[in-house]
Structures are given as structure tokens and as C-alpha cells.
């Protein structure tokens, strides 16, 4: 797959891979995958859903947020709001007149909700995989102790233990404050398209209650939740991926 680059005035250049729909067959919405925190577009889920979409002739788009993967920019300069704007820029560049299904994993679920709100008329459906909206609040209030919170406010940065690597990651005051201005679970929201959430019951990062709260905030009538009893946060096992892809295909009809 050839990597394309979207150059933007005053913003980091973004790397993306777009596979157009096959000419034959019935039209289906474009599927756009939004990865998680520090993930890139070559992850297991992104490449799996791409291959499944190619197999059925469906357009697919994956990309790297600024400061991630092949895109320009420093990771430490990124914020939820900036990465949501990245989604809008790439989507508007590649989408054409197609409706889109946003598939957001972990942090990508939060960003998908923001991007869907900003581009509501272009969205066909939204799928969340262990969606983690408003997680900056959980980090600040539950994972940081009083001393770390004081350090964050005084110096602008603090290190946080990384459950997936021996190397801790940096949590900045700008990232936290931007997250606070982009919270999506503080009041009821209206959706003009369906939302399907996939949530592992063995997820150590996002509690199952988060999926329930998202559905309540965005309307139970337009939301569906699939709880996977033995699923973890990644939901990247073959059976998990197949189940999510079935939802993508079903919602594409």
C-alpha cells in the first residue's frame, strides 16, 4: 500500500492510506479507522478491517494522527482536539461524496465521537471498540496522586506508568486541559446515525460501565452494545475482529 501525505498550512503533514471502492457492486459507505493513544495505522485492527473492506469492494481509510507513525509533529504537542481536527481534515480530503463509518478504538472512540459531531452530515454510522471518551479525567483524578497532580500543574508535565510498555509516557497539562474542553459524557447528545459499541468485560483500562454511559448519553434507541465476556482492552483476537467486521458490514447496508 502506498502512503499518501496531506500537507496543511500551519499544521503537521498527515500520512494516510486510502483504498477506493471497487467499481462493481453496490455502493457502501467509506470505513475510516481511528486508532488509540500512541497507536499507528499499521496496527492489527486497522490492517484487518482494511483487508475485509477490500475483499467486499468497500472504500477504506486509515491514517496517523499528528505526532504518530509516519505523520509529522511531536507526540507531546498533540491534544484530543488537535487529533479530532486531523480526522476532519483527512476525511474531508479523501471522502468525496461518500458517507463514512467511523471505527474508533480506545482513544479513537473519543475522537470519533468528536469528529462525528463536527461532521454529522457526512457520517453513516459509528463503531466504538473499547471506546475511552474523557479518559484524561480518569488519569488525572484516579491514576495521579496528589504529588503528581501538583507537579503537572507546576511544571506542565508528569510521567505516567504505561501498562503496555516498560517506558512510561508523558501526560502534559495542555493535554489534560484540552481534554477537559472536549469532554463528551457530561451532557446528553443527539445522534442522527446508529452507534455500536464493543466492550470487553476483562478490559483493565476501560470499565464496562463506560460503554453503558456512552449509550445513555447518546441515546439508547440509536445505540447498541456488544459485551464480550472474555474480551480484553485490545479486542484483537480473530473472533473479536470477525465480530466487529460483521457489524461494519451490517451497518454498511
Task: Write phi, then psi, for 216 (nearest 5 degrees).
Answer: -70, -45
Q: Are 194 and 221 in contact (CB under 8 A)?
A: no
Q: Residues with Cβ < 8 Å from 115, sequence gap 6 or more?
A: 34, 84, 87, 88, 91, 102
Pairing type for strands 4-8 and 11-19 reads antiparallel
Active-site pick, 233, 240, 245, 252 = 233
Task: Please indicate whether residue 163 is annotated as part of the active site.
Answer: no
Q: How far apart are CA 69 and CA 62, in angstroms?
A: 12
Task: Please indicate whether residue 252 is annotated as part of the active site.
Answer: no
Task: Please indicate whether residue 121 is annotated as part of the active site.
Answer: no
Active-site pick, 203, 205, 240, 245 = 203
Name the β-bridge partners of 126: 102, 195
Q: How many residues does the chain have?
A: 253
Active-site pick, 66, 71, 105, 106 = 106
Active centre residues (catalytic): 106, 203, 233
Amino acid at each position: 500500500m502506498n502512503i499518501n501525505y496531506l500537507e496543511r498550512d500551519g499544521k503537521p503533514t498527515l500520512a494516510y492510506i486510502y483504498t477506493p471502492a471497487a467499481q462493481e457492486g453496490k455502493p457502501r459507505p467509506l470505513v475510516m479507522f481511528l486508532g488509540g493513544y500512541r497507536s499507528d495505522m499499521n496496527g492489527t485492527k486497522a490492517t484487518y478491517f482494511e483487508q475485509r473492506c477490500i475483499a467486499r469492494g468497500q472504500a477504506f481509510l486509515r491514517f496517523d494522527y499528528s505526532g504518530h507513525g509516519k505523520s509529522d509533529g511531536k507526540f507531546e504537542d498533540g491534544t484530543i482536539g488537535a487529533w479530532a481536527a486531523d480526522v476532519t481534515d483527512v476525511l474531508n480530503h479523501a471522502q468525496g461524496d461518500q458517507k463514512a463509518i467511523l471505527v474508533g478504538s480506545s482513544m479513537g472512540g473519543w475522537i470519533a465521537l468528536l469528529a462525528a459531531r463536527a461532521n454529522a452530515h457526512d457520517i453513516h454510522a459509528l463503531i466504538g471498540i473499547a471506546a475511552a471518551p474523557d479518559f484524561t479525567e480518569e488519569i488525572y483524578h484516579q491514576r495521579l496522586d496528589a504529588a503528581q497532580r501538583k507537579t503537572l500543574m507546576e511544571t506542565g508535565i508528569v510521567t505516567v506508568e504505561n501498562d503496555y510498555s516498560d517506558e512510561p509516557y508523558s501526560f502534559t497539562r495542555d493535554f489534560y486541559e484540552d481534554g477537559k474542553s472536549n469532554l463528551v459524557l457530561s451532557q446528553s447528545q443527539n445522534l442522527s446515525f446508529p452507534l455500536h459499541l464493543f466492550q470487553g468485560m476483562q478490559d483493565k483500562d476501560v470499565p464496562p460501565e463506560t460503554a453503558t454511559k456512552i449509550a445513555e448519553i447518546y441515546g439508547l434507541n440509536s445505540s447498541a452494545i456488544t459485551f464480550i465476556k472474555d474480551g480484553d482492552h485490545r479486542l484483537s483476537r480473530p473472533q473479536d475482529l470477525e465480530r466487529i467486521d460483521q457489524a461494519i458490514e451490517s451497518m454498511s447496508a
